[in-house]
Amino acid sequence: MSRIGKNPVPVPKGVEVRVHKDVIEIKGPKGELRTPTHSKITYELKDDAVHLSRVDDSRVAREQFGLRRTLLANSVRGVTEGFQKILEVIGVGYKVAVDGPKITLNVGFSHPVEYNLPQGMSAKVEGNKLTLQGIDKEQVGEVAAQIRRFRPPEPFKGKGIKYSDEVIRRKAGKTGKK
């Protein structure tokens, strides 16, 4: 049995959770999210927490038990605290600028790369660090991955766009002829 699924999801003060047949609506100080439910999982709201249980002991129910609890917990955390990813732009002449919902990257191409942020996300720049913020964990991670794909870090000089906590394994370059 999933040890993650057994734990109830605490609902902090100021967060409103409504359980419907197909979706759970979570409304908090930072916004509103909708998390899909699964037919093999039952949801019960009691004692300022959401308790999950399985309908039966089938493989699908066991697979969904921990997953649905984690998705619900991420939604509750998103509407209270939010999520953020920090990207570093490393390289000579590499720059990043934010103008409202538009991110402009100068990362060694003949033209600047422009990326439009989806609704509900924000970005800010401090030097060579780009901070992406939002309430949906999946969306924040996907946007960070899409921006990183424009110029992934290379192993020889370490130039490119990398996550702040990412470690790049460096390689030795060519040695000269002796």
Query: DSSP 3-state helix, strand, coil percentages of the chain (rounded to 5)?
Result: 20, 40, 40
Between 101 and 1, name the one with better pLDDT: 101
Residue boundaries of the structural domains of the chain:
3-80, 83-163
Pick left, alpha or beta for residue 155 (phi over 0 → left; psi -120 to 50 → alpha; otherwise beta): alpha
Q: In what order do the strands lie in the sheet with 16-19?
A: 16-19, 23-28, 31-36
Q: Is the pTM of this model over 0.85?
A: yes
Homologous superfamily (CATH) of 3-80 is: Ribosomal protein L6 (3.90.930.12)
Lowest mean pLDDT among 2-6, 64-68, 110-114, 131-135: 2-6
Taking the C-alpha atoms of residue 101 and residue 111, their distance in angstroms, rounded to an integer, is: 19
Instruction: Sort 164 into a burial class: Cβ within 10 Å, 0-12 / 13-18 / 19+.
Output: exposed
Average pLDDT over residues 102-129: 94
Q: Which residue has the tokens 């060519």?
A: 174
Give the pLDDT confidence of 10-59 residue by residue, as tens digits.
999 999 999 999 999 999 999 999 999 999 999 999 989 999 999 999 99
How much is the pLDDT for 1?
Answer: 56
Homologous superfamily (CATH) of 83-163 is: Ribosomal protein L6 (3.90.930.12)
Give the pLDDT confidence of 65-103 residue by residue, as tens digits.
999 999 999 999 999 999 999 999 999 999 999 998 999
Same fold? 3-80, 83-163: yes
Lowest mean pLDDT among 3-17, 99-113, 140-154, 164-178: 164-178
Paired with 123 in beta bridges are 132
Taking the C-alpha atoms of residue 31 and residue 122, their distance in angstroms, rounded to an integer, is: 13
Give yes or no for residue 2 having a pLDDT over 90. no
Lowest mean pLDDT among 3-7, 27-31, 163-167: 3-7
